[in-house]
Amino acid sequence: MIAMIKRNLLLYFRDRSGVFFSLLGALISFILYLVFLKQNMLTSWHQVPNARLLLDSWLIGGTLAITGMTTTLTSLSLMVTDKVDHIAEDLGLTDAGPLRLFGSYLCSAAVIGFLMQLAMFGIMWGGFYVTDGLTLSLTEIRNTLGLMVVSSILATAVNASFIRAIHSVNSLNKLETIIGTAAGFLVGTYIPIGLLPGFAQNLVKFIPGSYVAALYREFLMGSKLTAAFGGDSTALASFDQLMGIRLKWTNLLTPQATYHIMGLMLIGAVILALGPEWIQIRHRRRVIRER
């Protein structure tokens, strides 16, 4: 299994242009924001103190969530190309077994998702440190790093349940385009969730990435928000809801509740991703035993 994970990682990182474009896919929202949206949003936030730094952290949160989704998908696409190129048949001849092979695709995707989020985090924080003097506390960094791990695992599981249904490179490319395009809207990175119409707001709540983005924002902006809003908790709560820093079910979710929801989504995704594989393996075993 380790050999297989090593192979998947080597294949991902040796393809330099692939890594570059994968990063660019995530960076594009960051660049678009800087070029088109930042000034516009700053104007509408003029009454919020420290608006510039808050906005920077807000963007980092959303972009990291997108990065997790898109890079794990790119990595998992190896599963499809291996099948298409008959490499999967050759791998099946080894002693590794189908579950372990599947597991190694998931592990390498999660590792790649984490590393790419880390790289994006470095790039964005570095950029904002230079332009706006953005600083982060140790706790904020620690929470963010921890969330990167959870985010890449969750995104891997969710993407793995999609990718099972894909059997050609053509449809894989289309899925990648769709997810890459939709992700920015679905997790509320381009437009704050509170400004979306009611239906879209509900749709956002079905997307695991939204919870990841919300938690990132909470971790990165929490202390700055408390400082900015002083004791005005109603104003803070409505700002949290508007910007998707905390999602609302019946009440605004606490970080713990958000983590719980993410945990349930992870379990659901793992069942969807692994279930069919497991049933297939059992079926095959029974067929062989019957002979």
Residues that bind other proteins (CB under 8 A): 2-4, 6-7, 10-11, 14-15, 85-87, 89-96, 287, 291
Could you give the CA distance from residue 286 to residue 7 in angstroms, rounded to a whole number?
Answer: 31
Q: Could you tell me which of 53, 68, 190 has the C-alpha nearest to residue 134? A: 53
DSSP 124-156: HHHHHHHHH-----HHHHHHHHHHHHHHHHHHH
Q: Which CB sits closer to other proteins, 90 or 132? A: 90
Q: Which CB sits closer to other proteins, 4 or 221? A: 4
Q: Give, in degrees to the nearest 5, the angle at Cα 235 between 229 and 240.
A: 90
- Nearest approach, Cβ of residue 162 and other proteins (Å): 24
* Alpha-carbon dihedral angle through residues 10, 16, 20, 25, given to the nearest 10 degrees: -60
Could you give the CA distance from residue 240 to residue 193 in angstroms, rounded to a whole number?
Answer: 10
Residue 150 tokens, joined: 């959870």
Q: Which CB sits closer to other proteins, 10 or 242? A: 10
Helix axes 16-32, 98-132, angle to 10 degrees: 50
- Nearest approach, Cβ of residue 87 and other proteins (Å): 5
- Nearest approach, Cβ of residue 5 and other proteins (Å): 10
Q: Which CB sits closer to other proteins, 4 or 53? A: 4
- Nearest approach, Cβ of residue 286 and other proteins (Å): 12
Q: Could you tell me which of 157, 188, 164 has the C-alpha nearest to residue 265? A: 157
Q: Which CB sits closer to other proteins, 43 or 95? A: 95
- The DSSP symbol for 196 reads S
Q: Tokens 């509900």 belong to which residue?
A: 202
- Nearest approach, Cβ of residue 130 and other proteins (Å): 35
- Nearest approach, Cβ of residue 81 and other proteins (Å): 10
Helix axes 51-84, 208-229, angle to 10 degrees: 170
Q: Which CB sits closer to other proteins, 52 or 83? A: 83
Q: How far is CA 160 from the centre of its chain?
A: 13
> Strand, helix or coil at 50?
coil
Q: Which CB sits closer to other proteins, 94 or 177? A: 94
- Nearest approach, Cβ of residue 274 and other proteins (Å): 20
